[in-house]
Amino acid sequence: MQGFTPETGFGPDAAARYDESPRGDEGVAADFLAGLAAGRDALEFAIGTGRMAFPLSHGGVRVDGIELSQAMVDVLRSRPGGAELDVRVGDMSTTSMDRRYGLVFLVYNTIFNLLTQDGQVECFENAARHLDHDGVFVIEAAVPSAWLPTHSHARPERVEADAVTLDVCSYDPATQILDENHVRIAADGIRFAPIACRLAWPSELDLMARIAGLRLVERWGGWQRQPYTGRDAHVSVYARA
């Protein structure tokens, strides 16, 4: 998307608004992840403002993080307990924490924020470098077809009396890149919230895992271990091959 860079995609405005609308899966996701951590330390790739890290650490799991956006880290630091978390600003496909973990996790479709196949493979390789010999890497993401009823669309996302928000998308099947902008039109002006994603099917992610020396050990349709149907989303658990 012209004018969009991953570094600025979650800048100060997006970071300031990020915690206004929690996703709602934080409790069940934290239970799932805490079970896999089994008392060991965890590392979150793209930790953001700590939406998942705080509930998990309140449950007794130490959570460190890597995050590209300084603005998101500033919000995390401002939250109670945020100053104590070990978070490094950098790219999750290359940044090292110089230690290993029982659990590395990357949720909320954020593997797609890496915009090339090479970048996504490097992310798996970086996860593998951070895993204990019996550690696991968890990815939670949408199934691409759930996001692509048509390749390109503009549809109402939120309709209020004095504002409308449109979800405007354009998908390129050759690059697998979905360019998306959430456009809020209101009396006080127009606000853009752009994001670009490189969509990948679970099967492509499984091959990336194999390149990184990992293998799929569990795949679910959601955090409550619903059966995986291939229709909406997946929670995938990888371990050393």
Ligand X SMILES: C[S@@+](CC[C@H](N)C(=O)[O-])C[C@H]1O[C@@H](n2cnc3c(N)ncnc32)[C@H](O)[C@@H]1O
Q: Where does this chain bind ligand X (CB under 6 A)?
A: 6, 10, 46-48, 51-52, 66-69, 72, 91-93, 107-108, 110, 113-114
Instruction: For tokens 């470098």, name the residue.
Output: 129
Instruction: For tokens 């995050």, name the residue.
Output: 67
- Nearest distance, CB of residue 141 and ligand X, angstroms: 11
Query: Please, which residue, 47 or 128, has the CB nearer to ligand X?
Result: 47
- Nearest distance, CB of residue 9 and ligand X, angstroms: 6
Query: Please, which residue, 10 or 101, has the CB nearer to ligand X?
Result: 10
Using DSSP bridges, classify how beta strands 131-142 and 152-159 pair: parallel, antiparallel or unpaired: unpaired
Query: Please, which residue, 51 or 234, has the CB nearer to ligand X?
Result: 51
DSSP H stretches of helix in the chain: 6-9, 12-18, 26-37, 53-58, 70-78, 117-129, 144-147, 202-211
- Nearest distance, CB of residue 114 and ligand X, angstroms: 6
Instruction: For tokens 């990992």, name the residue.
Output: 214
- The residue number with the shortest CB distance to ligand X is 48
Is residue 6 classed as helix, strand or coil in its secondary structure? helix
Is residue 35 classed as helix, strand or coil in its secondary structure? helix
Query: Please, which residue, 120 or 209, has the CB nearer to ligand X?
Result: 120
Query: Please, which residue, 108 or 147, has the CB nearer to ligand X?
Result: 108
End-to-end Cα, the chain, rounded Å: 37
Instruction: Return the closest-CA partner of residue 145 out of 236, 221, 230.
Output: 230
Rounded Cα distance between 185 and 159, Å, is: 10
- Nearest distance, CB of residue 111 and ligand X, angstroms: 9
Query: Please, which residue, 56 or 209, has the CB nearer to ligand X?
Result: 56
- Angstrom distances, CA of residue 40 to CA of 62, 87, 97: 8, 17, 16
- Nearest distance, CB of residue 218 and ligand X, angstroms: 20
- Nearest distance, CB of residue 118 and ligand X, angstroms: 12
